[in-house]
Amino acid sequence: MNPFTYSYPVKVYFGEMAAKNLAAELTNAGPNVMLAYGGGSIKKNGVYDELIGILKDAGKTVTEFTGIMSNPTYAKAQEGAVLAREKNIDFILAVGGGSVIDCCKIVSAQAKLDKDIWELEYTDHKQPTEFIPMGAVVTAFGTGAEMNNGAVITNEEKMLKSALWGAFYSFAILDPAYTMTMPMKQVISGAFDSLSHSMETYMGSPREVNLSDEINEATQRNIIRNIRATLKDPQDIQARSELIWAAAMAENGILKIGKATDFQCHMLEHQLGAYTDCNHGQGLAVLHPVLYKHMMPEANHQFARLAAEVWGINPVGKTEADLAEAFVDALIAFIREIGLPTTFAEMNISADTDFKAIADSTVLTGGCAKKFTRKELLEVLLECR
């Protein structure tokens, strides 16, 4: 394993009725609280009323920041920062999935900055150091966004869907019961994102067997098993519990200890999302198998391990190349089994999308087993149509 320092700032309250801990956490917060959420589903499932009751009982003045969209935009984050400054917000409570949680990381930072955060990070190559404290209530799992300080934000002016670095959450409430009203397509898409995070971490370096990767293999097996269990019985709260914690495990840094990660597929999907506003998990499902075929033979050693240790493929009598092929085939079969798309056409992404612009603006990652060129990334995109 590579040398590492590991420290983790997010307190996690996990399980049914985990929100009972919110009142105690609010004693550490100032009087003015921003309640941030997306399209309003939390008002239909009762979560909104529960949280408003807790906030009111704690004597907080609540300002609502609503309408945070999937693939949150830079303009929306700036809107939240302006509102936070106007209302002298002391604490942000983000309620939702990765989009809401990511957006608020940037609101928290930008509200304390005199300078534009995009310029600060991408031109000055600095990161913010002062933030509005935050807590997260997870109602849609998959991204694990509550576990880190990275945010994926779409800058529509620049046609970039990129990472910005904001605040860590002080705490995260993970109640699987809050996820029971998620549409099944969103459940499966989010869970596949968790599997993708795990694979992207696994495919980094070092490439030999190490403890982080062995924990990762268990996480991947867990996600696969519990996606199947959830499809079999959407009311299986135990399966939901496993999936919401697996999403957290994929992004709380444990699987990344001593690793330089890959994430080339994520970088490519981010730019696809910048140009098409597509569903993130679905985009990953289409891209992963095609990208992985292009990563052969450089990645065969790791693919072969995944075949045996995650997908249960018998290695006897098979070469490393055989096992690598079997892994990709198993991944494709699983994507079809769980009802995710395998082509852009199934996602209603037009064949005349500017795929060259997407490839040309994609970040090339250093941890990937294969050093891709933009020309080859374009080939991947075209094969996904």
> What are 202-223's pLDDT values in tens digits?
999 999 999 999 999 999 999 9
Bridging pattern class, strands 32-36 and 171-174: unpaired
pLDDT at 5: 85
End-to-end alpha carbon distance in the chain:
38
Q: Which residues pair with 200 in a beta bridge?
A: none
3-state secondary structure of 70: coil
H or E element, residue 96: strand 91-96
pLDDT at 320: 98
User: What pLDDT was estimated at residue 3?
Assistant: 85
The span from the CA of 180 to the CA of 337, in Å, is 21
CATH number, domain 11-179: 3.40.50.1970
Q: For residue range 82-110, list pLDDT tens digits in order.
A: 999 999 999 999 999 999 999 999 999 99
Greatest alpha-carbon pair distance for the chain in Å reads 68
What is the mean predicted confidence (pLDDT) over 34-42?
94
- Write down the pLDDT at residue 162: 96
CA distance linking residue 196 with residue 194, whole number of Å: 5
Burial 356-372 (b: 16+ CB within 10 A, else e): eebbebbeebebbbbeb
The predicted pLDDT at position 256 comes to 97
Q: In what order do the strands lie in the sheet with 134-138?
A: 11-14, 171-174, 134-138, 91-96, 32-36, 61-65
Angle of helix 280-294 versus helix 374-383 axis, rounded to 10: 120
Task: Tell me which fold the domain 189-383 belongs to.
Answer: Dehydroquinate synthase-like, alpha domain (1.20.1090)
Mean pLDDT to the nearest integer, 132-160: 97
Q: Which residues pair with 319 in a beta bridge?
A: none
In whole angstroms, give the CA distance from residue 333 to residue 341. 11
The domain limits of the chain are: 11-179, 189-383
For residues 144 and 194, the answer to whether their CB atoms sit within 8 Å is yes
Tens of pLDDT, residue by residue over 331-376, are 999 999 999 999 999 999 999 999 999 999 999 999 999 999 999 9
* Alpha-carbon span 326 to 39, nearest angstrom: 41
What pTM was estimated for this model as a whole? 0.96
- pLDDT for 319 beyond 90: yes
pLDDT band at 7 (very low <50, low <70, confident <90, very high): confident
